[in-house]
Amino acid sequence: MSYRPIAITAALGAAVMLTGCHNAKALLPPNLRPPSQNAGEPLKLAQQQLQQATPCCSSFADFSYRSLLPWQPQKFTLGSASMVANLGGTKSYFLAFRLPTEVKLPYRVAVKSELNGRWLHASYLFAPTVVLLDDGFQPLRSDDITLCEHMGWSDDTTGAFGSMTVESKQARYLLVYSSAKQQSGKTYWEQSPTSFSSSTAATLQMNSAGSFSIPHGPDGSLWIGMMNSTYKKAVDSAVCGKPPSGTGVLDDLSLPWSGKRSGSK
């Protein structure tokens, strides 16, 4: 019988007692530590890093559209290693794609933004703006995608979802960036950790409950591609905002004391 694990545990406990509560926090794994006192610091640093970057592109014709839009949502990481555009005086990381020409119109493009941060109160989202272009790189349509939160039973079905529909036969290219309006906006987020499965470990580590407004930021992980059945279910059932409060169920019932009668108008 080995007493080594017991000895290690005892030594760790003694170290915690000797170092005190403040230094003992450093012994905890990162996902068990409390959030930083300055929750907005990661977002501010990311914004500063973007503003210091040198843009490569300032018009729609400057981008390379060699990559085909994925046939199903694929993950892309936008950040310090990404190129930067300056569109209309706003700097943003971006993605550029050519669109499939053999797909029957109309079709939907799915997007999902993941929370950027370990703790909910210190997290932010990359909110996409999607521009459809013709073969002469002229914009046909530009949408600030509305993101809606969905909590699924896996990481694939958890995040801030959105979509857009391609209807024009002239559409040849798709550009994704984040407009000034998107970068200054927020997304409604409702979280209840008791409703999650163990597979959504990243979400459980945030250790928060209730509803929040998640600020938008300049970088993060974005999934984009042709709509598939998994994303369609998530997009169509996602929560876009807190439901309005009503007068209650009893007010809608035809009760003797309510003055209402069944079938009355």
For residue 158, what is the DSSP state?
-
Total number of residues shown for the chain: 265
Structure tokens at 163: 């979509």
DSSP 3-state assignment of 93? strand
Q: How far is CA 184 from the centre of its chain?
A: 14
8 A C-beta contact, residue 160 and residue 73 = no
Tell if the pTM clears 0.85, that is, is over it.
Answer: no
CA–CA distance, 160 with 74 (Å, rounded to integer): 15
Residue type, 216: H
Rg for the chain (alpha carbons), in Å?
Answer: 24
pLDDT tens, per residue, the chain with 265 residues: 554 544 555 554 554 444 454 444 444 444 444 555 566 799 999 999 999 999 999 999 999 999 999 999 999 999 999 999 999 999 999 999 999 999 999 999 999 999 998 888 889 999 999 999 999 999 999 999 999 999 888 888 899 999 999 999 999 999 999 999 999 999 999 864 434 433 344 444 554 556 679 999 999 999 999 999 999 999 999 999 876 655 544 444 444 444 444 444 4
